[in-house]
Structure 1
Amino acid sequence: MFGDMMGMMGKLKETQQKVEETKKRLDSVLVDENSHDGLLKVTMTANRKLTDISIDDSLLEDKEQLEDYLVLTINRVIAKATQIQESELAAVAKEGMPNIPGLDLFME
Protein backbone atom coordinates (compact mmCIF):
# COMPACT_ATOMS: atom_id res chain seq x y z
CA MET A 1 0.00 0.00 0.00
CA PHE A 2 2.80 2.40 0.93
CA GLY A 3 4.53 1.64 -2.38
CA ASP A 4 1.34 2.46 -4.27
CA MET A 5 1.06 5.77 -2.44
CA MET A 6 4.68 6.68 -3.25
CA GLY A 7 4.10 5.70 -6.87
CA MET A 8 1.03 7.89 -7.06
CA MET A 9 2.90 10.83 -5.52
CA GLY A 10 5.67 10.39 -8.07
CA LYS A 11 3.13 10.25 -10.89
CA LEU A 12 1.43 13.42 -9.62
CA LYS A 13 4.76 15.24 -9.44
CA GLU A 14 5.59 14.10 -12.96
CA THR A 15 2.19 15.28 -14.18
CA GLN A 16 2.65 18.66 -12.50
CA GLN A 17 5.99 19.03 -14.29
CA LYS A 18 4.38 18.14 -17.63
CA VAL A 19 1.63 20.72 -17.00
CA GLU A 20 4.26 23.41 -16.39
CA GLU A 21 6.15 22.38 -19.54
CA THR A 22 2.90 22.54 -21.52
CA LYS A 23 2.16 26.03 -20.19
CA LYS A 24 5.62 27.18 -21.31
CA ARG A 25 5.13 25.61 -24.73
CA LEU A 26 1.77 27.35 -25.12
CA ASP A 27 3.62 30.68 -24.90
CA SER A 28 4.95 29.92 -28.38
CA VAL A 29 1.61 28.78 -29.87
CA LEU A 30 0.13 31.73 -31.74
CA VAL A 31 -3.60 32.12 -32.34
CA ASP A 32 -4.91 34.54 -34.98
CA GLU A 33 -8.36 36.00 -35.43
CA ASN A 34 -9.53 38.36 -38.17
CA SER A 35 -12.53 40.61 -38.33
CA HIS A 36 -15.23 39.38 -40.70
CA ASP A 37 -13.92 41.63 -43.51
CA GLY A 38 -10.23 41.18 -42.76
CA LEU A 39 -9.61 44.80 -41.79
CA LEU A 40 -8.42 43.88 -38.31
CA LYS A 41 -6.18 41.00 -37.23
CA VAL A 42 -5.38 40.10 -33.61
CA THR A 43 -2.71 37.61 -32.56
CA MET A 44 -2.15 36.16 -29.09
CA THR A 45 -0.47 33.16 -27.54
CA ALA A 46 -2.45 30.14 -26.38
CA ASN A 47 -1.74 31.46 -22.86
CA ARG A 48 -3.80 34.54 -23.79
CA LYS A 49 -0.97 37.05 -24.08
CA LEU A 50 -1.74 39.62 -26.79
CA THR A 51 1.20 39.80 -29.21
CA ASP A 52 0.00 41.79 -32.23
CA ILE A 53 -2.83 43.90 -33.58
CA SER A 54 -2.93 44.84 -37.25
CA ILE A 55 -5.41 47.57 -38.22
CA ASP A 56 -6.28 48.57 -41.78
CA ASP A 57 -5.97 52.34 -42.29
CA SER A 58 -9.65 52.60 -43.28
CA LEU A 59 -10.67 51.69 -39.72
CA LEU A 60 -8.77 54.67 -38.33
CA GLU A 61 -11.40 57.01 -39.76
CA ASP A 62 -14.19 55.74 -37.50
CA LYS A 63 -13.26 55.45 -33.83
CA GLU A 64 -16.51 53.76 -32.80
CA GLN A 65 -16.27 51.16 -35.56
CA LEU A 66 -12.64 50.44 -34.64
CA GLU A 67 -13.58 49.97 -30.98
CA ASP A 68 -16.37 47.55 -31.96
CA TYR A 69 -13.99 45.59 -34.20
CA LEU A 70 -11.40 45.39 -31.42
CA VAL A 71 -13.87 44.16 -28.82
CA LEU A 72 -15.40 41.50 -31.08
CA THR A 73 -12.13 40.24 -32.55
CA ILE A 74 -10.23 40.21 -29.26
CA ASN A 75 -13.05 38.30 -27.57
CA ARG A 76 -13.01 35.70 -30.37
CA VAL A 77 -9.24 35.23 -30.21
CA ILE A 78 -9.40 34.90 -26.41
CA ALA A 79 -12.05 32.18 -26.80
CA LYS A 80 -9.87 30.31 -29.33
CA ALA A 81 -6.75 30.60 -27.16
CA THR A 82 -8.65 29.46 -24.08
CA GLN A 83 -10.01 26.42 -25.91
CA ILE A 84 -6.51 25.42 -27.06
CA GLN A 85 -5.03 25.94 -23.60
CA GLU A 86 -7.76 24.01 -21.80
CA SER A 87 -7.60 21.15 -24.29
CA GLU A 88 -3.81 20.84 -24.02
CA LEU A 89 -3.75 21.02 -20.22
CA ALA A 90 -6.65 18.59 -19.88
CA ALA A 91 -4.85 16.05 -22.07
CA VAL A 92 -1.72 16.28 -19.90
CA ALA A 93 -3.71 16.05 -16.68
CA LYS A 94 -5.77 13.09 -17.90
CA GLU A 95 -2.60 11.27 -18.98
CA GLY A 96 -1.17 11.63 -15.48
CA MET A 97 -4.22 10.48 -13.56
CA PRO A 98 -4.12 7.07 -11.88
CA ASN A 99 -6.10 4.32 -13.59
CA ILE A 100 -9.20 4.24 -11.39
CA PRO A 101 -12.27 2.68 -13.02
CA GLY A 102 -14.94 5.30 -13.75
CA LEU A 103 -12.62 8.27 -13.10
CA ASP A 104 -12.54 9.13 -16.80
CA LEU A 105 -16.28 9.92 -16.61
CA PHE A 106 -15.50 12.85 -14.32
CA MET A 107 -12.72 14.19 -16.58
CA GLU A 108 -15.02 14.94 -19.56
Structure 2
Amino acid sequence: MFGDIMGMMGKIKETQQKIEETKKRLDTVLVDEQSNDGLLKVTLTANRTIKSVDIDDSLLEDKEQLEDYLVLVLNKAIEKATAVNEAELGAVAKDGMPNIPGLDMFS
Protein backbone atom coordinates (compact mmCIF):
# COMPACT_ATOMS: atom_id res chain seq x y z
CA MET A 1 0.00 0.00 0.00
CA PHE A 2 2.82 2.44 0.86
CA GLY A 3 4.37 1.74 -2.53
CA ASP A 4 1.04 2.56 -4.19
CA ILE A 5 0.91 5.91 -2.40
CA MET A 6 4.49 6.72 -3.39
CA GLY A 7 3.69 5.77 -6.98
CA MET A 8 0.63 8.03 -6.98
CA MET A 9 2.63 10.90 -5.49
CA GLY A 10 5.26 10.49 -8.20
CA LYS A 11 2.55 10.49 -10.86
CA ILE A 12 0.99 13.65 -9.40
CA LYS A 13 4.38 15.40 -9.34
CA GLU A 14 4.99 14.38 -12.96
CA THR A 15 1.55 15.72 -13.90
CA GLN A 16 2.27 19.03 -12.17
CA GLN A 17 5.46 19.34 -14.21
CA LYS A 18 3.57 18.60 -17.43
CA ILE A 19 0.97 21.24 -16.52
CA GLU A 20 3.72 23.84 -16.02
CA GLU A 21 5.29 22.88 -19.36
CA THR A 22 1.88 23.17 -21.03
CA LYS A 23 1.33 26.63 -19.50
CA LYS A 24 4.67 27.77 -20.95
CA ARG A 25 3.77 26.32 -24.35
CA LEU A 26 0.40 28.11 -24.27
CA ASP A 27 2.33 31.40 -24.20
CA THR A 28 3.32 30.60 -27.79
CA VAL A 29 -0.15 29.58 -29.00
CA LEU A 30 -1.79 32.61 -30.63
CA VAL A 31 -5.52 33.25 -30.87
CA ASP A 32 -6.76 35.80 -33.42
CA GLU A 33 -10.12 37.52 -33.36
CA GLN A 34 -11.60 40.37 -35.35
CA SER A 35 -14.78 42.39 -35.64
CA ASN A 36 -17.31 41.25 -38.25
CA ASP A 37 -16.25 44.06 -40.59
CA GLY A 38 -12.51 43.52 -39.97
CA LEU A 39 -11.94 47.04 -38.63
CA LEU A 40 -10.51 45.79 -35.34
CA LYS A 41 -8.21 42.78 -34.94
CA VAL A 42 -6.62 41.41 -31.77
CA THR A 43 -4.17 38.63 -31.05
CA LEU A 44 -3.84 36.96 -27.65
CA THR A 45 -1.87 34.02 -26.34
CA ALA A 46 -3.80 30.99 -25.09
CA ASN A 47 -2.80 32.24 -21.62
CA ARG A 48 -4.87 35.37 -22.37
CA THR A 49 -2.03 37.87 -22.79
CA ILE A 50 -2.74 40.51 -25.44
CA LYS A 51 -0.01 40.46 -28.09
CA SER A 52 -1.37 42.93 -30.64
CA VAL A 53 -4.29 45.22 -31.45
CA ASP A 54 -4.86 46.51 -34.98
CA ILE A 55 -7.36 49.38 -35.29
CA ASP A 56 -8.56 50.71 -38.61
CA ASP A 57 -8.20 54.50 -38.86
CA SER A 58 -11.96 54.92 -39.41
CA LEU A 59 -12.59 53.77 -35.82
CA LEU A 60 -10.39 56.54 -34.44
CA GLU A 61 -13.03 59.13 -35.35
CA ASP A 62 -15.62 57.79 -32.89
CA LYS A 63 -14.37 57.07 -29.36
CA GLU A 64 -17.59 55.39 -28.25
CA GLN A 65 -17.67 53.10 -31.28
CA LEU A 66 -14.02 52.15 -30.76
CA GLU A 67 -14.69 51.32 -27.10
CA ASP A 68 -17.64 49.12 -28.13
CA TYR A 69 -15.49 47.34 -30.71
CA LEU A 70 -12.71 46.76 -28.18
CA VAL A 71 -15.08 45.31 -25.59
CA LEU A 72 -16.77 42.97 -28.08
CA VAL A 73 -13.66 41.75 -29.88
CA LEU A 74 -11.51 41.38 -26.76
CA ASN A 75 -14.25 39.42 -24.98
CA LYS A 76 -14.60 37.06 -27.97
CA ALA A 77 -10.82 36.61 -28.13
CA ILE A 78 -10.58 35.96 -24.38
CA GLU A 79 -13.39 33.40 -24.66
CA LYS A 80 -11.53 31.57 -27.46
CA ALA A 81 -8.21 31.69 -25.61
CA THR A 82 -9.84 30.39 -22.43
CA ALA A 83 -11.37 27.46 -24.32
CA VAL A 84 -7.96 26.52 -25.77
CA ASN A 85 -6.30 26.95 -22.37
CA GLU A 86 -8.85 24.83 -20.50
CA ALA A 87 -8.84 22.08 -23.14
CA GLU A 88 -5.05 21.80 -23.14
CA LEU A 89 -4.61 21.91 -19.36
CA GLY A 90 -7.61 19.64 -18.80
CA ALA A 91 -6.19 17.01 -21.13
CA VAL A 92 -2.83 17.04 -19.34
CA ALA A 93 -4.46 16.86 -15.92
CA LYS A 94 -6.81 14.04 -16.91
CA ASP A 95 -4.04 11.95 -18.47
CA GLY A 96 -1.79 12.39 -15.46
CA MET A 97 -4.18 11.66 -12.63
CA PRO A 98 -3.81 8.30 -10.94
CA ASN A 99 -6.81 5.99 -11.15
CA ILE A 100 -8.36 6.35 -7.71
CA PRO A 101 -11.74 4.58 -7.39
CA GLY A 102 -14.56 7.02 -6.66
CA LEU A 103 -12.51 10.06 -7.69
CA ASP A 104 -13.88 10.89 -11.13
CA MET A 105 -13.13 14.62 -11.19
CA PHE A 106 -12.09 14.71 -14.84
CA SER A 107 -14.62 12.30 -16.33
Range into which the TM-score falls when normalised by the shorter chain: over 0.9
What amino acid sits opposite 1:69 in the alignment? Y
Q: Sequence identity of aligned pairs in percent?
A: 75
1:82 aligned partner: 82
RMSD over aligned Cα atoms: 1.1
Return 5+ residue gaps in structure 1 as ranges. none
1:107 aligned partner: 106
1:59 aligns with 2:59: yes
Would you say how many aligned residue pairs link Structure 1 and Structure 2? 107
Task: Write the mapping of 1:37-76 to structure 2, written as runs, cut at 5 A.
Answer: 37-76=37-76
2:10 aligned partner: 10
Partners in 1 of 2:80 and 2:102 — Cα distance?
Answer: 30
What amino acid sits opposite 1:35 in the alignment? S
Return 5+ residue gaps in structure 2 as ranges. none
2:22 aligned partner: 22
Report the Cα offset of residue 102 of structure 1: 5.4
What amino acid sits opposite 1:83 in the alignment? A
What amino acid sits opposite 1:3 in the alignment? G
1:37-69: CA deviation from partner (whole Å, max 9, x where unpaired): 100001010000001000011111111100000
Q: Secondary structure at the match of 1:71?
A: helix
TM-score, L = length of structure 1: 0.94
Partners in 1 of 2:42 and 2:102 — Cα distance?
Answer: 41
